Amino acid sequence: MKFQAEIDVMPKKEILDPQGKAVSGSMKNLGLSEITNIRIGKHISLEVEAESEAAANEKVEQACKKLLANLIMESYSFKIQPV
């Protein structure tokens, strides 16, 4: 069975986010100073072949821990649904 995973990887709150800080500064320059605390991360979309949703969850979890997220500096969350 095929599953679609949507994964979000974000810098941990304790980690400085220079990209987010630069975008925050640009918001002020654009007259959008009401927009603050910007954090920039990445979104990953993938398909996984698995026997069940639980097995698909486990495979995506392993992929996040081993490759897709740097657990020292980033956190991740994901959602899975059948294709």
The mean pLDDT value for 61-82 works out to 98
How do residues 39-70 score in pLDDT, each as one tens digit?
A: 999 999 999 999 999 999 999 999 999 999 99
Backbone angles phi, psi at 79, to 5 degrees: -130, 140
Token pair belonging to 10: 């974000």
Cβ-count burial 4-25 (b if 16+ within 10 Å, e if not):
ebebebbbeeeeebeebeeebe
64 burial via Cβ count (<10 Å: 0-12, 13-18, 19+): buried
Q: In this predicted structure, what is the pLDDT of residue 24?
A: 93
- Please state which CATH class domain 2-82 belongs to: alpha beta
Band (pLDDT 50/70/90 cuts) for residue 36 is very high
Predicted TM-score (pTM) of the model is 0.89
Q: Assess contact for 28 and 81: CB atoms under 8 A.
A: no
The structural domains of the chain, with segments of one domain joined by +, span 2-82
Q: In this predicted structure, what is the pLDDT of residue 83?
A: 95
